[in-house]
Structure 1
């Protein structure tokens, strides 16, 4: 099978949990509930504005969530839908290969992030390297720090996304456990 994830990882693809391997060879639509959280004070205010721009709810709490994952030989595409309302689509383009110290460029509208990958424990953890808006690099002091990862826990797809700023701390995040077609991703 020729897809961007397999081509990028090469022989190291086998380091991923077998269920993450399946997800990234076949694609999927995963559904569940996410818990949306915001920082306090000014950080929460900024986090709510960021959530609004991403199409996420601006109230903390649990909401329905789905993500469609598609592959081609050139890219990986994630379309996330919060509360059955707004869909945020990101395209991930590989640069070099995993063995060559490569990375992915996530493109969501005018924002682009350069992301490395860790496969520690068979999981997939994005490692943010840089962020640019409209092609202008954001200096580390002002750059939102994004933590994002996915793992298989008890046959279910578990993920977390957290966004913070160096001077303010935690702004906004969401996490949850998703399933495919109402079933566990049984090994």
Structure 2
């Protein structure tokens, strides 16, 4: 097993993740699948358009190139041709995902073999967002009958659902 920032941050609990979750988060991987992308209402659509998030689509082809290195992780997501890249780094006990001007800080947490992300704060252009304006992100990766599944849901207090995407994916190259 290669050490990366997630395995280092999680310590021994990383070993409790299901085999498919550990495999996806080890070295360079490409995963693909057909997933469901949902957006909320009018304000959510404006937010999604501003940040270049994918459009609503019940059957969106998603390809993710995952590069898990010792001190960073790079994910390049391809939603039917829309490229959305992010980089993960460490900030003390917290990890953060940088996506354009956004930084989303979280703890990776193992529960029953699944990998959850406990988000704690968000900043934009380095400025912390107040709780009222900060998105609430619930994200989880898990195994069902030997297959890799994930769920991501972004909500905001005054907006409700902003963006959600989920589905089953498979490792196509290692």
Normalising by structure 2, we get a TM-score of 0.89
How far, CA to CA, are the matches of 2:70 and 2:172 in structure 1?
Answer: 25
Flag the 1:57–1:168 CA change in 2: closer, same or farther, 3 A: closer
Looking at secondary structure, tell me which structure has more strand per residue. Answer: 2
Aligned residues: 172
How far, CA to CA, are the matches of 2:57 and 2:90 in structure 1?
Answer: 33
Q: Give 1 or 2 for the bigger CA radius of gyration.
A: 1
Report the alpha carbon displacement of residue 11 of structure 1 after superposing the two structures with TM. 2.4
Q: Does 2:91 match 1:95? A: yes
Residue ranges of structure 1 left out of the alignment (5+ in a row): 97-101, 183-187
The correspondence of residues 31-180 of structure 1 with structure 2, limited to 5 A, is 31-39=32-40, 44-83=41-80, 85-96=81-92, 102-180=93-171
Looking at secondary structure, tell me which structure has more helix per residue. Answer: 1
Residue ranges of structure 2 left out of the alignment (5+ in a row): none
How far, CA to CA, are the matches of 1:171 and 1:114 in structure 2?
Answer: 18
How far, CA to CA, are the matches of 1:53 and 1:65 in structure 2?
Answer: 21
Moved over 3 A (4+): 53-57
Normalising by structure 1, we get a TM-score of 0.84
